[in-house]
Amino acid sequence: MKILVTAKRVTDPEARIRLMPDRSGIVEDDVDYKINPFCENAIEAALELSDDLDDCEVVVVSIGPEECEQYIRTALAMGCDRGIRVEANDRDLDGDLVARILVALFKREEPGLIVLGKQCIDGDSNQVGQLLAAYLGIGQACFASEIELSSDAATVAREVDGGIERIRVKLPAVVTADLRLNEPRYASLPGIMRAKRKPIDELTLDELGVDASIKVRTIALQEPPARVGGGLVADVTELVDKLQNVAKVL
């Protein structure tokens, strides 16, 4: 079996973000990046599943500029077998285009399972997995907290409002990983050394035959409003008045 798994580059949540003067994007010169946390869970899930299979190849995919290769190398150091980077500019991507790119890679690689993070912590759109399954016409199991594979199907436990739901999807299928699925492993020193010799294929949208048009474009970004300090009130009446007329939470 072949498992296709994603490793999206996102801005580090701890990084200090500065906006461009025209608010069209962020200043990227001094921004730290990392693998999307949900993608780390997806990578770990793919590796755990491959450990239980006699013959399995785990292929990690990242869509973005050349800098994304270091995060592919991280996934290779964790244990993935080879990597694919699709050349693209982050600002020219949306969830629909990413899904269509993955459709083209699915047809090229013919995996038995595709594992993605349930969402990315930068855009938080939570669309790609669902769009991918819809475009391919295959089963999907989103927000997975447990995955079991058989020869022709995957049984996935997923958290819903009422508790834990277990669904069975026929392979090939799309599964999106939640944080509760596992604890991602660290890359070992031998793994890091081996990762340097593992291949990374570089592809373009033209080579994949993918239309580069997008449906969602970011017009402008805005910083959150500055936090205002608290104040003292004389009595409960004044407190209720401020909650109703100032904070407007009552």
pLDDT, tens digit, for every residue of 152-169? 999 999 988 888 999 999
23-42 per-position pLDDT tens digit:
877 777 777 889 999 999 99
Task: Supply the mean pLDDT for the chain.
Answer: 91
pLDDT at res. 25: 75
Query: In this structure, is residue 170 part of a structural domain?
Result: yes
Query: In this structure, is residue 233 part of a structural domain?
Result: yes
pLDDT at res. 151: 85
**75: helix, strand or coil:** helix
Percent of the chain scoring above 90 in pLDDT: 71
Query: In this structure, is residue 250 part of a structural domain?
Result: no
**72: helix, strand or coil:** helix
Gyration radius of the chain over CA positions:
21
pLDDT at res. 119: 92
Residue with tokens 């239309």: 211
* Residues 145/157, Cβ–Cβ less than 8 Å: yes
Instruction: Write down how long the chain is.
Output: 250
pLDDT at res. 128: 95
Model pTM score = 0.85
Query: Which residues of the chain fall below pLDDT 50?
Result: none
pLDDT at res. 115: 97
pLDDT at res. 222: 82
What is the extent of the structural domain holding 49? 2-245
Q: H helices within 61-118, ranges in order? A: 69-78, 95-109
Number of domains in the chain: 1
Supply the CATH number for residue 68's domain: 3.40.50.620
Query: In this structure, is residue 102 part of a structural domain?
Result: yes
- CA-CA distances (angstroms) from residue 39 to 6, 57, 187, 190, 232? 6, 17, 15, 22, 45
